[in-house]
Amino acid sequence: MLYLHQVSYHPPASSRAILDRVSLELGPQQLGVIYGPSGSGKSTLLELMAGLARPTAGTIQWREQILDPESLRQLAGLVFQFPERHFCGQTVLEELRLGHPELERQHLDHALAAVGLDHLPPQALPHALSGGQQRRLALAVQLIRKPYLLLLDEPTAGLDWSMRQQIIRLLQQLKQRWTLLVVSHDAEELISLADRRWQLSHGLLTPDL
């Protein structure tokens, strides 16, 4: 079970808190959706949960254990918005092996199969893949780390209708094994998947489901 209790984030350079006493609860194999306009704090919240920033106040817990940023980096896998912009590998195999040169090929194959890319040749060029395939590859990169929690920032942004539907079906499948938290400026496409739903506006989180 994931718990956020009264989490706030107010960096010194900001005139106001980006996040103000945010609390939520998300169970195992549940998919939560946080929606709100640009600038509402959605990406910042994911960065806190991924251990990339430290809250100004409040706690983030997993199974009732309070976690520091280092522990959160082990627990969670974050897929950024437009993750294809961050690809560094020259091939799909290189992209998967970044940071994990010791992994056996079967582990890489399992990760690709989990996101429906097991048909791709390992020497395929990441930047030559379709938009939907690139999002799937970014998910596979995180699955290799074996996280307990998957965090996704606008996973369907910039994709056409067909590719968005592919990603939504993939999230439905991943939900059977992982806990997922998705942020989006528009929750309409994700409503059918959501076990929990919240609206984030001006740093304030309000339950919606």
The reported pLDDT for the residue numbered 75 is 96
Residues of the chain above pLDDT 90, percent: 83
Nearest to 83 by CA among 45, 33, 129: 129
User: 23 in a domain, yes or no?
Assistant: no
Side chain identity, residue 191: I
Residue 105 has pLDDT above 90, yes or no: no
pLDDT at 209: 65
Domain count along the chain: 1
Bridge pairing between strands 196-201 and 31-35: parallel
Model-wide pTM > 0.95: no
Are 123 and 91 within 8 A, CB to CB?
yes
- Give yes or no for residue 185 having a pLDDT over 90: no
Give the Cα separation of 196 and 61 in Å (integer): 17
Residue 104 has pLDDT above 70, yes or no: yes
Evaluate whether 120 touches 128 at the Cβ level (below 8 Å): no
pLDDT, residue 116, reads 93
Please report, for the domain that includes residue 104, its CATH number: 3.40.50.300
pLDDT in tens, 74-97: 999 999 999 999 999 999 999 999
For residue 84, the one-letter residue type is: E
Answer for the pair 149, 77: CB distance below 8 angstroms, yes or no. Answer: yes
- Pairwise CA distance, residues 18 & 111, whole Å: 35
- Taking alpha carbons only, the member of 170, 171, 169 closest to residue 182 is 171
Q: 146: domain range?
A: 29-54+70-207
Indicate the average pLDDT of the chain: 93
Q: Residue 66: exposed, middle, or buried by beta-carbon count in 10 A (0-12, 13-18, 19+)?
A: exposed
**Helices 131-143 and 161-174: crossing angle, nearest 10°?**
20
Residue type at 50 in one-letter notation: A
- What is the structure's pLDDT at 64? 87
The answer, yes or no, to whether residue 47 has pLDDT greater than 90, is yes
Q: What is the pLDDT of residue 186?
A: 80
pLDDT tens digits, one per residue of 111-165: 999 999 999 998 999 999 999 999 999 999 999 989 999 999 999 999 999 999 9
